[in-house]
Amino acid sequence: MRASARRYLPGTLVSVACLVALFWIVDVGALRRIGEQFDPVYAGVFVALCFAIQLIAAERWRRLLGRQIHYRDALAATVLGFGGNMVLPARGGDLARVYYSARLGPMALHKPLSRLVLEKVLDLLAAFLFGGAGLLWLARSSPEDDRLETAAWPVLAAAVLLPVLIASGSRLLGQRLQDRVPRFARPVVAQLEEGLVDFREASRTTALGVPAVLTGATWLLIYPICFWAAGRMVGVDLGFAELQVLMLAATVGYAIPAAPSAIGTLHASLLSAFALMGRHHDEGISYAIALHSGFFIVFLVAAAALFPLLSGRGAMFRENAET
């Protein structure tokens, strides 16, 4: 077995195990009802919101990079990244976004890489904060079920502790990195240290304000409507607090190492959230399939069809691809 195949095997096995477990407990007849309840109007709303997510994400990415690339190029890199995440393992689309942004700047590779980490921290904070608040709201609405409140407090605690842990961890890693690696690897480690320094500096600047506002707007407005439309596509109606919990579950599903586009892990995570909220598992699997399929189709088609049109530097991109 080739080394590349061995590298992808664990994630593939996780996805297969999740899918087997899901189809073991779910009535397969519920899958037929997806087509029966499909509403094209809400599908159109979902597609429009997916494009809105990419437009906002591109502006946030440009701001995180200190406006060193044009918005058109940030959008091209973002569309490429979203589409790449649907087909590449280990969120490989994000790494492609980092690489192309570095070439477009031009800038040292450690800068977009550190800003990618900062972007993920912002998303995790939003997911934990709003998801925990959603769990707490549902717990207050259903006082007889203490599982929701039990789950809410660790999630909210994670939202508070995450910035502290990342800040202290990056500082400690930067202090000890050079002493713990062989001499031949120190040039690479030096780049990593520069990235850690850049990450700490960027997280303390006022330039983080606009990306933080865009993150909040996305998680409080754009994502909820998009997730709501995905449910209405297959006849699943959801409240705002439930949507926040599902967005947290989707974040966890995408974070688990698995096959490309988080197939299996995303479905299992969403189904677990439905169970926690007391919703029927047939609704959960219908919703998970609709959301995953919608993201997969829209982001992949957008990357394939729009990326050459959005890039103002197509020749350079083709040259890099050949290299």
Does the pLDDT at position 123 exceed 90?
yes
Q: What is the pLDDT of residues 190-209, one digit of tens each?
A: 555 565 556 666 666 657 88
Residue 144: band (very low, low, confident or very high) from pLDDT cuts 50, 70, 90: confident
- pLDDT mean over 69-94: 88
- pLDDT mean over 148-168: 84
- pLDDT mean over 58-84: 91
Per-residue confidence (pLDDT) for residue 38, from 0 to 100 = 81
Does the pLDDT at position 237 exceed 90?
yes
Mean pLDDT over each residue of the chain, to the nearest integer = 79
As a dihedral over the C-alpha atoms of residue 191, residue 158, residue 201, residue 196, rounded to 10 degrees, the angle is: -10
As a dihedral over the C-alpha atoms of residue 197, residue 66, residue 110, residue 94, rounded to 10 degrees, the angle is: 120
Domain boundaries defined on the chain: 42-322
Whole-structure pTM value: 0.82
124 Cβ contact list (under 8 Å, min separation 6): 162, 251
* More confident site: 64 or 193: 64
Q: Please, what's the largest Cα pairwise distance for the chain?
A: 63
Distance CA 305, CA 303 (A): 6
* More confident site: 90 or 268: 268
